[in-house]
């Protein structure tokens, strides 16, 4: 069975139905993937599409046709196979599989605080048992310090700024400047180069601790990469893999799909949105790969939802049977 999903060919960020692009000719706002990059108003056809940084992407341009990726499910053997000949597939594309197996050892090797053989997966009770969360700004400040401790990052100079969920989409630096101005503080007090000391969070994130953990972990890991590796820029997908390597995979998996209320006129209901992380299949394979070679007790998989659990078990079994990527460790 073959299907198509949409992702940035450079960082694998996936757009959802809320993502909007603007026509440079007539200023029409629409989701470019609804029309295969043709403006519904003036008919302008765009050969290249920019990844949305404000939604968690990399902001780079790629040929529009390269955003559409074929995903082919592993073929099932005909008849009833003998159990010792049964082949287990993996839930990611072959390109993603190779990328994960190449990238994870490299990421781990870059940080003194990481060890490929050390179990690092953090389970929700590890954090939830330490603090009584009340959906307040204090929760974010606690998590900033706790995640900083896990990542060995000094967070004393970092300032958190909270903005309304409906704030306009714009670069983080610009949004931060507006937020600081509203509090009477000067933008010049807070540096953005080489790494920002101001992190903005949307107030609705305070009502989902898992999402708040992921948001802060990725912001702090971006800081760690820029400072410790002296990198000039960061790729969002590498940051996401680093978050998994440092143990935040369960929280990423649990927040990949989110439900929110919508209302238009007299109609209302619920809608499902995807967060700006790698696909669940990629998260599952990366976690399974690390868990296998770290020889972890994977009883923590009980915290996955059913879909994620299926992808993880499939990946873990395949890696165990095929020693996938083993040659890259030696």
Q: 238-274: per-residue pLDDT in tens?
A: 888 999 999 999 999 888 655 444 445 555 443 434 4
Q: Which helix (H) or strand (E) holds 151?
A: helix 137-151
Per-residue pLDDT, averaged over 206-213, amounts to 91
pLDDT value of position 197? 81
pLDDT value of position 169? 55
Classify residue 47 by its DSSP letter. S
Query: Which of 72, 105, 133 is the endpoint of a domain?
Result: 72
Q: Is residue 85 part of a domain?
A: no
> Same domain for 200 and 300?
yes
Least confident residue range of 22-31, 162-171, 176-185, 284-293: 176-185
Q: What is the DSSP string of 93-125?
A: -HHHHHHHHHHHHHHHHH-TT--TTS--PPPHH
> Same domain for 179 and 39?
no
CB 311 within 8 A of CB 287: no
Q: Is residue 89 part of a domain?
A: no
Per-residue pLDDT, averaged over 40-51, amounts to 87
Q: Is residue 110 part of a domain?
A: yes
Does pLDDT of 221 surpass 80? Answer: yes
pLDDT tens, 179-200?
Answer: 555 555 544 444 444 567 888 8
Q: Is residue 250 part of a domain?
A: yes
Per-residue pLDDT, averaged over 201-230, amounts to 88
> Same domain for 194 and 283?
yes
More confident call, 254 vs 173: 254
Does pLDDT of 10 surpass 90? Answer: no
Pairwise CA distance, residues 49 & 64, whole Å: 5
> Same domain for 287 and 156?
yes
Pairwise CA distance, residues 278 & 236, whole Å: 9
- Reported confidence tier of residue 34, pLDDT bands at 50, 70, 90: confident
Q: Is residue 80 part of a domain?
A: no
Per-residue pLDDT, averaged over 274-281, amounts to 70
pLDDT tens, 64-74?
Answer: 888 877 543 44
> Same domain for 63 and 106?
no
> Same domain for 36 and 181?
no
Tally of domains in the chain: 2
More confident call, 112 vs 176: 112
> Same domain for 238 and 171?
yes
pLDDT tens, 73-111?
Answer: 444 444 444 444 445 688 988 888 988 988 888 888 888
pTM score > 0.85 for this model?
Answer: no
pLDDT value of position 166? 56
Q: Is residue 82 part of a domain?
A: no
Structure tokens at 63: 């040929």
What percent of the chain clears pLDDT 70, i.e. is strictly above it? Answer: 72
Give the SS3 label for residue 146. helix
Least confident residue range of 10-19, 35-44, 164-173: 164-173
For 56, other C-beta atoms within 10 Å of its C-beta total: 18
> Same domain for 56 and 153?
no
> Same domain for 148 and 29?
no
pLDDT value of position 233? 67
> Same domain for 56 and 136?
no
> Cis omega before residue 194 (within 30°)?
yes
Structure tokens at 195: 């790494």
> Same domain for 274 and 235?
yes
Mean pLDDT, rounded, of the chain:
78
pLDDT value of position 327? 65
Q: Which residues contact 108 (CB under 8 A, 6 or more apart)?
A: 114, 115, 116, 245
Q: Which residue has the tokens 């000719």?
A: 25
pLDDT value of position 249? 94
For 86, other C-beta atoms within 10 Å of its C-beta total: 11
Q: What is the residue range of 178's domain? A: 94-329
Beta strands in the chain (DSSP E): 2-6, 21-22, 29-30, 48-50, 61-63, 68-72, 159-163, 198-202, 257-264, 267-274
> Same domain for 110 and 238?
yes
Does pLDDT of 237 surpass 60? Answer: yes
Pairwise CA distance, residues 231 & 226, whole Å: 5
- Beta bridge pairs of residue 38: 45
Q: How far is CA 43 from CA 27, 29, 34, 79, 81, in A?
A: 12, 13, 13, 51, 53
pLDDT value of position 79? 44
Least confident residue range of 39-48, 55-64, 192-201, 278-287: 192-201
């Amino acid at each position: 069975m073959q299907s198509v999903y949409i992702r940035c060919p450079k960082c694998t960020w996936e757009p959802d139905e809320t993502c909007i692009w603007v026509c440079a000719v007539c200023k029409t706002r629409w989701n470019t993937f609804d029309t295969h990059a043709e403006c519904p108003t003036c008919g302008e056809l765009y050969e290249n599409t920019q990844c949305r940084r404000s939604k968690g992407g990399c902001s780079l341009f790629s040929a529009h046709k390269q955003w559409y990726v074929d995903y082919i499910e592993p073929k099932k053997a005909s008849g009833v196979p003998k159990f010792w000949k049964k082949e287990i597939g993996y839930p990611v594309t072959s390109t993603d599989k190779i990328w994960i197996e190449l990238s994870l050892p490299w990421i781990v090797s870059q940080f003194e605080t990481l060890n490929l053989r050390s179990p690092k997966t953090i389970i929700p009770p590890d954090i939830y048992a330490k603090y009584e969360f009340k959906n307040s700004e204090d929760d974010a400040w606690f998590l900033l310090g706790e995640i900083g401790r896990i990542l060995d990052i000094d967070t004393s100079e970092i300032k958190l700024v909270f903005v309304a969920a409906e704030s306009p989409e714009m670069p983080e630096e610009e949004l931060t400047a507006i937020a600081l101005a509203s509090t009477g503080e000067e933008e010049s007090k807070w540096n953005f180069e080489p790494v920002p000391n101001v992190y903005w969070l949307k107030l609705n994130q305070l009502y989902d601790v898992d999402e708040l953990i992921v948001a802060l972990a990725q912001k702090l890991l971006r800081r760690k990469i820029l400072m410790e590796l002296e990198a000039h820029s960061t790729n969002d997908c590498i940051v996401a893999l680093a978050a998994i390597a440092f143990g935040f995979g369960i929280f990423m998996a649990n927040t990949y799909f989110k439900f929110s209320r919508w209302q238009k006129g007299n109609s209302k209901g619920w809608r499902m949105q995807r967060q700006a992380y790698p696909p669940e299949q990629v998260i599952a394979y990366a976690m399974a790969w690390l868990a296998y070679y770290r020889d972890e007790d994977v009883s923590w998989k009980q915290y996955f939802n059913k879909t994620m659990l299926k992808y993880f078990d499939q990946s873990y079994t395949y890696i165990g049977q095929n020693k996938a990527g083993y040659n890259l460790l030696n």
